[in-house]
Structure 1
């Protein structure tokens, strides 16, 4: 008897969360700085709007990378949850801007901050594979968001992870939105789709 993708994902989430905690304790700040030092791997310019995230405990901290990309002319935005089954929205953010607390332990810019549509989304994750599939917490926020952004035009989805978070293969379901690339402390993995 085979497990459904949803049940398999639940088991993998527990294992991946534990692995990520260990990698964060071992590499945390060094990994975040390594991403910033390799920012040239990401093509950004004055027209780029980077949708980052405020890190939860254990996630790769994107803030050093975001600061480097902003210094190269990119605009920054952070996501905001508006409803449990809705895509995330992104509001303009600059380092030092005040943040408000959101659901699930997140932080986002104030409602007065302008809405932006990212052209590059930095995506947190628990695990990833070479096909670009990722395992998140299961809320579907990034799948809905990437689907909406892809329907609205061009967007690049870059997962941020510790290299050890790579899995040989992850289960996928029809609504799962694959990443275009994954950026780790060891470098950039570009996804090649068949």
Structure 2
């Protein structure tokens, strides 16, 4: 039976929301270990990522590791004038966070803290589901598809996008749309997928 994108989204969100706090913590630590083996991660100085929401795999250990290494970390902020787009703002231990319209914490908008997307080395993306072809299904708003629409491994290689997910978020196949941007790499606690 072929499920719709919305049915897959709902099913996988329920699956990841059922993970216990202990499972979430273990997954987050294991994810950091997977990322540490990647040259793209080892060589990155400016990294965009997200704060976990709705059962997403938590990149907090990754953030702490990057800060310890002296890297700059950036979080997505909903663009105030361009609906459906993201800005990336510098994030450190002193950054004041506010909740956006979706209830997700983000830095308060400050023009001096915005980083041009192409100035980031690495972009660690949340996702709802993925398949063995690198197809990514998000929450449905298209924010990351728009963010990655100009990414190309040769012509526009920065930032290098990597999807982050729990193992349970892999599905057999995703019905792809023409605006979907397949990822070149997805990291889970158990494996790094590369295409």
Q: Report TM bin, short chain.
A: 0.7 to 0.9
Query: What TM-score results when the alignment is normalised by the length of structure 1?
Result: 0.85
Which of these residues, 11, 30, 34, is aligned with residue 7 of structure 2?
11
Pairwise CA distance, 1:64: 0.8
8 Å contact 1:46–1:75 — kept in the other structure?
Answer: no
Q: 1:178 to 1:85 in 2, by over 3 A?
A: farther
- Look up the SS of the partner of 2:102 in the other structure: helix
Identify which range, 77-86 or 130-139, moves more after superposition: 77-86
Q: How does 1:14-93 map to 2 (within 5 A)?
A: 14-23=10-19, 25=21, 27-42=23-38, 43-44=40-41, 48-82=45-79, 85-93=83-91
8 Å contact 1:126–1:135 — kept in the other structure?
Answer: yes
What is the distance in 1 between the residues matched to 2:104 and 2:75?
Answer: 10
Structure 2 spans left out of the alignment, 5+ residues: none
Question: Cα deviation per residue 1:7-47 (whole Å; 9 max; x = unaligned)?
Answer: 81011111111111123556111111112233322334676
- Look up the SS of the partner of 1:173 in the other structure: coil
User: Could you tell me which residue of structure 2 aligns to residue 94 of structure 1?
Assistant: 92
- Look up the SS of the partner of 1:145 in the other structure: helix
Structure 1 spans left out of the alignment, 5+ residues: none
